[in-house]
Amino acid sequence: YLESNAQICGVTFTNPKTFNLPDFLIGSKKASIMTYTYNPDFNSNDYSSWLLSGNGGNIFLSVKKQLLRNKIRISSSDWINIFAPVLDIGEFFIIEVPKGKQIIKEACEYIEKAKGCFSKWDYEGVYANCREIGTLLDSTLKVKYGKNNFIYEERWGRTYKRFKNLSFNEVASLGLHLEDLKKTTKYSIDDIKIGKPDAEHIMYVTILLIKFTEELMEL
């Protein structure tokens, strides 16, 4: 930005008697004394004798730099849908799952532990906590409705055992069985591992199971 250095210095003609000086003539006319007047209202100073100056010099404008900081809050939807693709962060599917009433407190505590493990890249820890949730949800519904009830046997059962005849707990046990699988000759040892996609999948499915269970509990 530009900053003005302009200063105005007042010069007036003053009668010599003001300074107890005798009158004097220039030719046949009485002369006056030119007096420099310091006036802080016009940004002058008491050492410059310029009538108009740039802070006592001949530079009347200066180029200045100033860092301006302004905090802007970007909504998560705008960040994901607008900013992330432009910044090459990638595109995302956003799934919002209401937390519900969190009536199964222990399940909610386990899922928070799973999230903590995920943030530390402890994928086996994610699996272990999700497996505990599966056991807890299954036993909770069985106690409420009984083994032969339609809600437990069909609605819950078809959801819980939907992984090609594997129960959710068997799927969520993969992280616990890696060392056993490495002892077999069926797979290459380099292939026997789990990563972020596995942990994300089991954690998201577990969150949906908690939500589903809570709604079944309120029927």
Return the pLDDT at 141.
93
Q: Where are the domains of the chain?
A: 2-63, 100-217
pLDDT of residue 180: 85
CATH topology for 100-217 is Four Helix Bundle (Hemerythrin (Met), subunit A) (1.20.120)
Mean pLDDT of 61-69: 88
Residue 93 or 121, more confident: 121
Crossing angle of helices 123-145 and 196-217, in 10° steps, is 20
pLDDT digits (tens, 9 = 90+) for 141-200: 999 999 899 999 899 988 887 765 677 777 788 888 888 888 887 888 888 888 889 999
* Mean pLDDT, range 21-45, rounded to an integer: 73
- pLDDT for the residue 189: 84
